[in-house]
A and B are shown apart, each in its own frame.
Chain A
Amino acid sequence: MQLRYDDYFLEAAVFLCASGRQTGVPSLQIARFHRERENLYSILDPDERNTAFFKLHLDWFREWGLEQPLTEVLAEFPLVRERLAVLAVRKSSVKNDEGAELYVNDAGQRTGLLALKPERLAGRRSADFSPLQRRTAESSRTPPEAHGMAALKRAEARAPVALRDFLRHEFAHLHDMLDPAFGYSPALDLPGLNAAQMRLARERYRLLWDITIEGRVAAAGHAPLQPREHHAAAFARGYSFWPETQQAETFASLWQNPTPRHADFLALIADPRELRDAHRPAPGAPCPLCDFPTFHWADTGTLPFEIRQRIAAEFPAWVPDQGLCNRCLETYQAASPSELNPAVAGC
């Protein structure tokens, strides 16, 4: 598997290191980096210049150990290394954009694309640890280590760990997508769901998948991105219509499942309220005519014959037992002025 980097990602990560964001980078090396970088500006051909910058940034990316967390965590996922042709790392500017995706071309070649904020690699100092950071004018020549930089070091020491946790989580997604036993399919095979239900199903799929990944990460002795309680609460919110015991049992089975399957997720997301098999319309279920979820079902026992006929003309498969919402009933009442709305008919 090839590991490739986006130019902007490399430059941003290396630059953050060189600008003093990363402790432990010798100042002589930073000076050398800038000197080498400055020299490249004299290359006139833009393509040559870009290539030279890329090589320089890649060299320093490796020299400063920024690649190490990536390769080390990747080593924990032999299947990913074996089945991916390329893993490309690109720069992500915003947190919501971060994550791993799998692309398969027509020839069946698989490429993983990891979007990552460069700040995750080069520990970022924050401005809110100032009390320890201040120094007095008299002591301005004293090395910064003597003036409370310990707070900074503590903050930065966490950065690589957080990076590894994040990478482990994202590579686990890639692993599942590549694992034939998982049976991943990008399209959710859930016939009969409307667009709103499909969106909800995707959200549930994401929730379940994250839970199983975090459970496996925890079982392997690593720190999950969020603690188990956080995921349990998220699951309880997503399946709030279940009794608490059922929520707890299902969550535990997901968290402890070492080999989850795509099909298992589909079974849990498609119709968790079992509304499809309900013989009577349930509160919050979609109206069979307009597909909007409703809590206001019309009384089909007293439906005039005219309306039933009109509905049957447009929905031949519809039977009164399936019900219809009050809004649909109003629509069909309004559409039958002659028989049902004498006030309108008289106009």
Chain B
Amino acid sequence: MSNVFNWQLGREMDYPYEAAFPDQQFAFIFNINRCIGCQSCTMACKSTWTFAKGQEYMWWNNVETKPYGGYPHHWDVKTLDLLEQANPGGQNWGGQPDGVKAPYGKFNGKTIFEATKTFIGPEGANRALGYLPTDEEWSAPNRYEDHPVGNEKGVKGQYFKGGELLPEHKTWFFYLARICNHCSYPACLAACPRNAIYKRPEDGIVLIDQERCRGYRKCMEACPYKKTLYRGTTRTSEKCIACYPRIEGRDQTGGGLPMQTRCMASCIGHIRLQGLIELNKDGTWKEARNNPLYYLIHVAKVALPLYPQFGTEPNGYYIPPRWVSRPYLQQMFGPGVDDAIEKYSAPDRELLAVLQLFGKDQRICHRYEIKEGPKVFETEVRGKKFVMYNDTIIGYAKDGTKIIETTVEEPLHVRDAKHANSI
């Protein structure tokens, strides 16, 4: 085991290999508040990459209803349970936030790599604590769709009084869209006995070498997000490839510019924003104040990593849903939840403008700038003043090409009165 620095945990941790970081890291943000569970992303991915024989139960992108849903079933609960067994009562956070090196404080518990030193999981001693899901758990990928949970016991035939009021709804569910997190410390890579899994030095995308894979399924056991899958027809494991031809700018529709993945581009709810991040030598993010991902994750801090306590340093981030039970969200996204929701619920001028970049163009936005516009609205959100300005946000590709120009207020076009359906 080596000592590597995991900024999401605010500390060093054990990892089977020495730290090695790519020139740029593939990363993405999903705004859960906007997801309607339409599965457009799921089908875009399916119809692009996993439509062949042997891939029937293979969904690189899935959208599950939390808290009950999961693909495979109960993937997160099972891993959390194993960690709790390995370190009873010790999986908690402490310390204070400290810039890009420890934005959420310090995690005092054990990661899946550290827990294996003192605990044998259901699959025996391994490099990362995990389990192999059964076929049954891989079936029914959208199980428990739209099933809510109640924070308190209800009365038959009656709605909760004030159950719809924020900050927490009394009954709630939300959609969690998931793809491979292309982690900085991938558990799949750590566990592979054939060294068939690698992280691309140019963009940090984690891939499985199909020539080397011999179907040991150790990656499936180890990945806490359960995002590597076995294909019976080829007897190898497969996983999300982050649509790397598009990231490389080889999709013709992008005119040579790097493009967001198919699942990001097809999202009708505009919940997704994907980008490439430059890293420091210790794996922390290089300051890029006007990169939308850097801004949302390190400046506004409204986007949080999914289960950072697993210790893989996932590169998928989520703007947590406002209406959901906070302890549940804290377990899922760490201690930054309250601040993130507070900021998102009454966004400041810059945040509101940056949120307009989601889903506006298929090409990857590396930098944005904001042109100030007039004040158009003012109100109070749960006791906090909220002012809306109709600013214009402009997004640029890496080479400086202007790819997005949009305003905070949705443009309204009034047709000429000669048309029958004019307003």
Contact = CB atoms under 8 A, between A and B. Distances in A.
Interface in A7-44: 8, 11-12, 15, 19-21, 34, 37-38, 41
Interface string A113-152: 0000101000011110010011111001000100100000
B217 A127 contact: no
B123 A93 contact: no
A280 interface: no
B118 interface: yes
Interface string B75-103: 00010011001100000000000000000
B121 A127 contact: yes
Given A8-B232, A127-B85, A93 B135 contact: yes
Contact of A140 (B81, B86, B117, B215): B117
Contacts of A60: none
Contacts of A37: 214-215
Given A93-B136, A95-B136, A135 B120 contact: yes
Contact of A12 (B118, B131, B135): B135
Contacts of A126: 122
Contacts of A127: 78, 81-82, 85, 121-122, 131
Interface string B112-140: 00000111111111000001101110110
Interface string B233-259: 001000000000000000000000000
Contact of A15 (B117, B121, B217): B217
A126 B134 CA distance: 12
B216 interface: yes
Contacts of A134: 85-86, 118-120
A104 to B, nearest CB: 29
Interface residues of A, number: 31
B139 A94 contact: yes
Contacts of B119: 130, 133-135
A287 to B, nearest CB: 31
A140 B81 CA distance: 21
Given A38-B214, A140-B117, A93 B124 contact: no
B122 A41 contact: no
Interface in B46-99: 78, 81-82, 85-86
A19 B118 contact: no
Question: Main SS of the interface on chain B?
Answer: loop
A255 interface: no
Contacts of B85: 127, 130, 134
B78 A137 contact: no
Contacts of A20: 123-124
A251 interface: no
A86 B216 CA distance: 32
A137 B14 CA distance: 14
Contacts of A166: none
Interface in A220-249: none
Interface string A203-229: 000000000000000000000000000
Contact of A125 (B122, B136, B217): B122
Nearest to A130: B85
B81 A135 contact: no
A171 interface: no
B383 to A, nearest CB: 45
Interface string A86-127: 000001011100000000000000000000010100001111
A134 B116 CA distance: 10
B3 to A, nearest CB: 16
Contacts of B117: 137, 140
Contacts of B121: 127
B235 A53 contact: yes
A130 B78 CA distance: 13
A127 B80 CA distance: 12
B399 to A, nearest CB: 42
Contacts of A117: 135-136
A137 B120 CA distance: 11
A34 B120 contact: no
B118 A94 contact: no
B214 A136 contact: no
Contacts of B215: 37
B139 to A, nearest CB: 6
A21 B138 CA distance: 19
Contacts of B122: 125-127
3 smallest A-B Cβ distances: which pairs?
Answer: A93-B135, A130-B85, A20-B124
Given A8-B232, A93-B136, A134-B86, 5 more contacts: A34-B214, A94-B135, A117-B135, A127-B81, A135-B120
10 contacts: A8-B232, A20-B124, A91-B135, A93-B134, A93-B135, A124-B134, A127-B121, A130-B85, A135-B120, A140-B118
